[in-house]
């Protein structure tokens, strides 16, 4: 073989070797690390009523999710809204149930993403914020609460804090300045009982808990009257951590969207008022973000 031919042959060999090595290197570089196998599905809930009642209400749903996902389910019921948000931010929850405002906070702080919104009997995928007082309080309209004591529900509650503050602002009322005192009751039921027991003169709560408490005879028209109700608010939502495996996300979402057909008993949470779930998207809650802007709330600091 001539010297020129030998050089050409060696050059081709080196080129082939380089391509092979590059292919191996590229293959190693693009190999996706396997997602750690999930051994349990951790579910978080907000305390619309006390923790034990919430845990009991969710039992049928957690059993249903165990059957659909093949994973044991652990339910975490926080003492307040921020507890669920912080648990998801710390990677201790996989999916959770949020009120609209607490969801917006979780999306901003805890990598949460909405996938299913509840549909309630009589109200669909929305609900309302109420202002309640005792029938003998002398309070007939929002302006009458000036100089009186008041209970919001929780700083991260939509119908129990965010929306009420927005309609007070529209009516030129500053609760922190115009009310005699302001407290946070911790739950919608606690806010109602604070009014019933004359611990405060008026309070915010949602119409869902109000109806449930009346049906259970925990409150009556002799205890409480409604003096104001808000426009419809986007409903409470289920959200997952964005970094869950896509296959698991698909299974979870399908389970929620089919639950009314496959296991109606799993819809018994919160008084059995939820009749189904509908698909949800993060953009559905932009109205809550806009309300926060009106109130000059910095979500990043909540």
**Each residue's pLDDT tens digit, 81-104:** 889 999 999 999 999 999 898 999
Q: Please compute the mean of the pLDDT values over residues 10-19 and round it to a whole number.
A: 37
Angle, helices 100-109 vs 286-294, to 10°: value is 90
pLDDT at res. 51: 75
Q: Please compute the mean of the pLDDT values over residues 269-292 and round it to a whole number.
A: 87
Tokens of 263: 């296991």
pLDDT at res. 298: 63
Q: How far apart are CA 191 and CA 202, in angstroms?
A: 9
73-77: strand order across its sheet: 73-77, 41-45, 95-98, 237-241, 112-120, 274-279
pLDDT band, very low/low/confident/very high, at 123 (cuts 50, 70, 90): confident
pLDDT at res. 197: 97
Let me know if 226 is exposed, middle or buried by CB neighbors in 10 A (0-12, 13-18, 19+): middle
Q: How far apart are CA 130 and CA 189, in angstroms?
A: 12
Residue 124 gets the label, from left (phi > 0), alpha (psi -120 to 50) or beta, of: left
Q: How far apart are CA 192 and CA 199, in angstroms?
A: 10
Q: How far apart are CA 81 and CA 99, in angstroms?
A: 8
Architecture of domain 129-231: 3-Layer(aba) Sandwich (3.40)
Q: Please compute the mean of the pLDDT values over residues 193-222 and round it to a whole number.
A: 95
Q: Would you say the pTM of this structure is higher than 0.85? A: no
What are the residue ranges spanned by the domains of the chain? 41-120+235-301, 129-231
pLDDT at res. 21: 35
pLDDT at res. 7: 42
**Each residue's pLDDT tens digit, 164-206:** 999 999 999 999 999 999 999 999 999 999 999 999 999 999 9
Contact 219, 135 (CB under 8 A): no
Domains 41-120+235-301 and 129-231 share a fold: yes
Under CATH, which number does the domain 41-120+235-301 receive?
3.40.190.10
Let me know if 99 is exposed, middle or buried by CB neighbors in 10 A (0-12, 13-18, 19+): buried
129-133: strand order across its sheet: 181-184, 149-152, 202-206, 129-133, 225-229
Q: What does pLDDT average to over the chain?
A: 85
Q: Please compute the mean of the pLDDT values over residues 8-28 and round it to a whole number.
A: 37
Contact 40, 74 (CB under 8 A): yes
Highest-confidence segment of 27-31, 45-49, 275-279: 275-279
């Amino acid at each position: 073989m001539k010297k020129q031919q030998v050089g050409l042959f060696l050059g081709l060999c080196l080129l082939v070797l380089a391509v092979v090595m590059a292919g191996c290197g590229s293959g190693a570089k693009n190999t996706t690390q396997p997602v750690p196998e999930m051994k349990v599905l951790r579910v978080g809930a907000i305390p619309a009523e006390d923790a034990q009642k919430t845990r009991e209400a969710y039992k049928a749903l957690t059993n249903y999710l165990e059957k659909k996902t093949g994973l044991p389910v652990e339910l975490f019921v926080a003492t307040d809204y921020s507890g669920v948000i912080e648990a998801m931010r710390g990677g201790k929850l996989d999916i959770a149930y949020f009120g609209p405002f607490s969801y917006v906070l979780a999306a901003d702080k805890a990598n949460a993403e909405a996938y299913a919104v509840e549909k309630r009997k009589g109200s669909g995928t929305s609900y309302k914020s109420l202002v309640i007082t005792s029938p003998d309080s002398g309070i007939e309209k929002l302006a009458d609460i000036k100089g009186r004591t008041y209970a919001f529900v929780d700083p991260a509650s939509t119908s129990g804090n965010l929306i009420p503050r927005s309609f007070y602002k529209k009516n030129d009322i500053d609760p922190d300045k115009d009310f005699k005192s302001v407290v946070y009751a911790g739950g919608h039921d606690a806010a109602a009982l604070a009014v019933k027991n004359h611990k405060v003169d008026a309070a915010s709560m949602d119409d869902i808990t109000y109806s449930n408490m009346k049906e259970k005879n925990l409150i009556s028209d002799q205890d409480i009257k409604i003096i104001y109700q808000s426009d419809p608010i986007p409903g409470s939502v289920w959200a997952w951590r964005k970094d869950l495996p896509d296959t698991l996300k698909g299974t979870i979402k399908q389970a929620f969207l089919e639950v009314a057909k496959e296991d109606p008993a799993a819809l018994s949470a919160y008084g059995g008022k939820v009749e189904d779930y509908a698909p949800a998207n993060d953009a559905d809650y932009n109205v809550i973000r806009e309300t926060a802007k009106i109130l000059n709330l910095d979500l990043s600091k909540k």
